[in-house]
């Protein structure tokens, strides 16, 4: 599957930068193109400057809202971010449509942090613009949920998240939720932590995107997961995860039986371990039983995959998501691990999301109350100063 990736705001731009790096890795290691173009869009010029992999020209690093923000961001007010995106969406559309390989693209992936101002406000606006301009291409949104400490220190955070997600869900083909809190390393410094989190957010997409673009015959699966499988699976609220189980690197001993029942059982067990890890590493906590659609793909050296393993994994997926339409595939490749990528989509219940919606209602009321109190105090100040003369004459001199 080939994607055009667009990162909005600071968070979205950095993750888009990581996708650009992933695209380079696929070209270098597997001779595969999975990212046809990557763009970063922001109202803050400094954030655009800090990227590493996305091309440095103005077609790929796009500054919007210059007249309103002077290149310094929108101050976490997502209504301003939405207004700026609406005014300048043509800049992004022009950049995307003039890309050299745009028409080879299967879908768009729009990425943004939901707690800030630019990404939170721009994500639904730009998604809507893409859907209207290219109705036959899928538009997926990767929505990044904030850390727990961000929710506790700023009420505006919860309001931004809830309004952004509600608006984005109404226009996107699927919204992939990713909770920052699930990837945090408590003992790491801030910069390294953020970089590692971004890598972990992007990692589950790698094999899934590569599988359908393989050109080597030996690495084409018996049941390939291609763009069609992914697009038929992704709908509504979605989560993604990947789990890995190591493969022993030692050589078979001369006296070891080629088809030892112990070895075969261990192969199946590695697949199940990878599934368990993928469940624990899903991008947001959900109950797989709430999924209407699901997809799993096993990726491993061909000698490590067998019918028994696929049967066991299929049975496990059916137990977890009994009401879902399930698709599956395999991806034989070189390496020293068995990995399983999972997608649960068309989710009917996401506890984290429900929590944001509930809290946002009270947050909106609190924000409105504070604004009214501030306006009232300002009026009292103005009334207190009514009897004083003005030093500015009415003729402007």
pLDDT for res 226:
93
In this structure, the answer to whether residues 260 and 185 fall within a common structural domain is no
Whether residue 27 lies inside any domain: the answer is yes
In this structure, the answer to whether residues 96 and 41 fall within a common structural domain is yes
In this structure, the answer to whether residues 165 and 259 fall within a common structural domain is no
In this structure, the answer to whether residues 240 and 192 fall within a common structural domain is no
pLDDT for res 256:
47
Whether residue 297 lies inside any domain: the answer is yes
Give the pLDDT confidence of 186-235 residue by residue, as tens digits: 555 555 678 889 999 999 999 999 999 998 888 998 899 999 999 999 99
In this structure, the answer to whether residues 167 and 243 fall within a common structural domain is no
Cα–Cα dist 329/255, whole Å: 34
CB of 103 closer than 8 Å to CB of 136: no
Whether residue 321 lies inside any domain: the answer is yes
Cα–Cα dist 32/287, whole Å: 34
Cα–Cα dist 65/37, whole Å: 23
In this structure, the answer to whether residues 290 and 193 fall within a common structural domain is no
pLDDT for res 74:
80
Cα–Cα dist 327/208, whole Å: 13
In this structure, the answer to whether residues 14 and 155 fall within a common structural domain is yes
Q: What CATH number is attached to the domain comprising 331?
A: 3.30.1330.20
3-state secondary structure of 367: helix
In this structure, the answer to whether residues 17 and 135 fall within a common structural domain is yes
Helix (H) / strand (E) element for 207: namely helix 205-211
In this structure, the answer to whether residues 91 and 178 fall within a common structural domain is yes
Pick from 158, 176, 202: which residue ends a domain? Answer: 202
3-state secondary structure of 209: helix
pLDDT for res 191:
58
Whether residue 367 lies inside any domain: the answer is no
- CA angle 74/88/197 to nearest 5° reads 55
CB of 60 closer than 8 Å to CB of 95: yes
Pick from 345, 368, 388: which residue ends a domain? Answer: 345
Q: CA-CA distances (angstroms) from residue 63 to 13, 50, 59, 116? A: 12, 13, 10, 16
pLDDT for res 307:
85
Whether residue 227 lies inside any domain: the answer is no
In this structure, the answer to whether residues 177 and 289 fall within a common structural domain is no
pLDDT for res 397:
52
Whether residue 228 lies inside any domain: the answer is no
In this structure, the answer to whether residues 253 and 154 fall within a common structural domain is no
Whether residue 224 lies inside any domain: the answer is no
pLDDT for res 376:
81
Tally of structural domains, the chain: 2
- Residue 30's domain spans which residues? 3-202
In this structure, the answer to whether residues 149 and 197 fall within a common structural domain is yes
pLDDT for res 185:
63
pLDDT, averaged in runs of 10, over the chain (397 residues): 96 96 95 95 90 93 82 80 92 88 93 93 96 95 90 79 95 96 65 83 96 90 93 97 76 48 65 91 95 95 85 93 95 88 97 90 70 77 81 62
pLDDT for res 5:
97
Whether residue 223 lies inside any domain: the answer is no
Q: What CATH number is attached to the domain comprising 10?
A: 3.40.50.1440
CB within 8 Å of 90: residues ≥ 6 apart: none
pTM of the predicted structure, to 2 decimals? 0.88
Cα–Cα dist 355/70, whole Å: 35
């Amino acid at each position: 599957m080939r994607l055009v990736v667009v990162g909005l705001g600071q968070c979205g731009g950095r993750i888009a930068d990581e996708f650009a790096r992933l695209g380079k890795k696929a070209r270098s290691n597997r001779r595969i193109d999975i990212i046809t173009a990557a763009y970063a869009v922001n109202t803050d010029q400094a954030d655009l400057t800090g990227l590493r992999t996305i091309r440095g020209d103005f077609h790929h690093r796009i500054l919007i809202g210059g007249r309103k923000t002077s290149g310094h961001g929108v101050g976490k007010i997502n209504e301003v971010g939405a207004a700026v995106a609406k005014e300048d969406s043509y800049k992004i559309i022009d950049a995307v449509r003039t890309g050299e390989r745009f028409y080879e693209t299967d879908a768009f992936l729009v990425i943004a942090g939901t707690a800030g101002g630019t990404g939170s406000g721009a994500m639904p606006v730009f998604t809507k613009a893409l859907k209207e301009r290219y109705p036959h291409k899928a538009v997926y949104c990767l929505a990044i949920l904030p850390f727990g400490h961000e929710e506790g220190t700023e009420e505006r955070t919860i309001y931004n998240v809830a309004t952004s997600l509600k608006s984005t869900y109404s226009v996107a083909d699927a919204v992939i939720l990713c909770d920052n809190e699930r990837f945090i390393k408590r003992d790491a410094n801030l910069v390294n932590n953020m970089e590692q989190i971004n890598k972990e957010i992007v990692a589950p997409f790698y094999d899934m995107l590569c599988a359908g673009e393989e050109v080597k015959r030996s690495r084409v699966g018996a049941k390939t997961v291609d763009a069609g499988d992914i697009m038929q699976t992704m709908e509504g609220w979605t989560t993604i995860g990947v789990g890995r189980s190591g493969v022993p690197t030692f050589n078979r001993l001369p006296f070891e039986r080629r088809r030892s029942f112990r070895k075969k059982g261990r192969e199946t067990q590695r697949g199940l371990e990878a599934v368990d890890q993928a469940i624990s590493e899903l991008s947001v906590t959900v109950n797989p039983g709430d999924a209407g659609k699901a997809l799993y793909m096993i990726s491993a050296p061909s000698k490590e995959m067998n019918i028994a393993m696929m049967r066991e994994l299929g049975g496990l997926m059916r137990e977890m998501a009994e009401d879902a339409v399930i698709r599956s595939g395999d991806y034989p490749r070189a390496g020293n691990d068995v990995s399983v990528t999972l997608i649960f989509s068309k989710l009917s219940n996401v506890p984290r999301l429900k929590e944001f919606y509930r809290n946002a209602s009270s947050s909106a009321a609190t924000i409105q109350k504070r604004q009214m109190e501030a306006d009232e105090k300002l009026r009292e100040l103005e009334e207190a100063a009514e009897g004083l003369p003005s030093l500015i004459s009415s003729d402007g001199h």
